[in-house]
Amino acid sequence: MTDDREWTVEDHLRGADPDAVRLWHHIDELIGTFGPVTHAVAKTTITFRGPRRGFAGARPIRQGVRGYFDLMRELPPDPRILGVSPYGRRLFVHQFRLADESEFDETVASWLREAYEVGCGAHLGP
């Protein structure tokens, strides 16, 4: 049997650890300052979509926030990055986990800003 109902942001936040929800909201608020962004919500995550495509996703978990973002390069090792996979010829999907707000720093903000450029179509250029 499949779950065909439409998922919402509230579905992901309801009942989650309050600290994780607060951290997710901080991520959401930051991403919202980059430009036009919408949410595409599925059972597994809340995807952030720029004008051209989805570029990141995140959801609260017991141990903080887990998610991904797409960049046109592979990042050097960082304990917050759980794994990196190539996606097509020009993108790398970075899986991340933030245990708490202390890990949500300017470095993470810069990764998300860079990912937003992918959401605007930067990866389609020369």
Which CATH fold would you assign to the domain 9-124?
A: Aspartate Aminotransferase, domain 1 (3.90.1150)
- pLDDT (average), residues 79-85: 98
Judge whether 104 and 31 are in contact, CB under 8 Å.
no
pTM of this structure: 0.92
The DSSP output letter for 52 is: S
CB count, 10 Å around CB of 24?
25
Residue 77 CA, chain-centre distance (Å), reads 18
| pLDDT confidence band for 3 (50 / 70 / 90) | low
| pLDDT confidence band for 84 (50 / 70 / 90) | very high
E strand or H helix at 80, and its extent? none
| pLDDT confidence band for 2 (50 / 70 / 90) | low
